[in-house]
């Protein structure tokens, strides 16, 4: 069993090798989307495999150091529309 801290008060348990990254890769494959075309946004240690798996992995400004290090870019924080920023500027390119 793998143990991953998501937040200071949250612990996730999963089978070895099962992460948000492996789940994202499986979903992309099932949908016929190249993983290189996927954008992922995270902010915690449990998001690191997902950030690394995506073609473009992004982290919120309020994210953990591990998530920031894994990301290609840092977005505004949760209170300043970081996900909306990613959608506008990375997905829609407006």
Residues 38-79: tens digit of each pLDDT: 999 999 999 999 999 999 999 999 999 999 999 999 999 989
pTM of the model: 0.90
Are the C-beta atoms of 62 and 75 separated by less than 8 Å?
Answer: no
Percent helix, strand and coil across the chain, each to the nearest 5: 45, 25, 30
| Degrees to nearest 5, angle at CA 29 with 27 and 34 | 110
What integer best gives the mean pLDDT of the chain?
93
């Amino acid at each position: 069993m793998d143990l991953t801290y998501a937040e200071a008060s949250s612990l996730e348990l999963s089978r070895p090798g099962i992460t948000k990254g492996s789940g994202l890769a499986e979903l992309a494959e099932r949908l016929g989307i190249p993983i290189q075309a996927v954008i992922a946004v995270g902010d915690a240690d449990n998001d690191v495999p997902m950030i690394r798996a995506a073609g473009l992995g992004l982290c919120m400004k309020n994210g953990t150091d591990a998530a920031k290090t894994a990301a290609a870019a840092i977005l505004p924080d949760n209170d300043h529309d970081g996900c909306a920023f990613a959608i506008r500027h990375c997905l829609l390119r407006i």
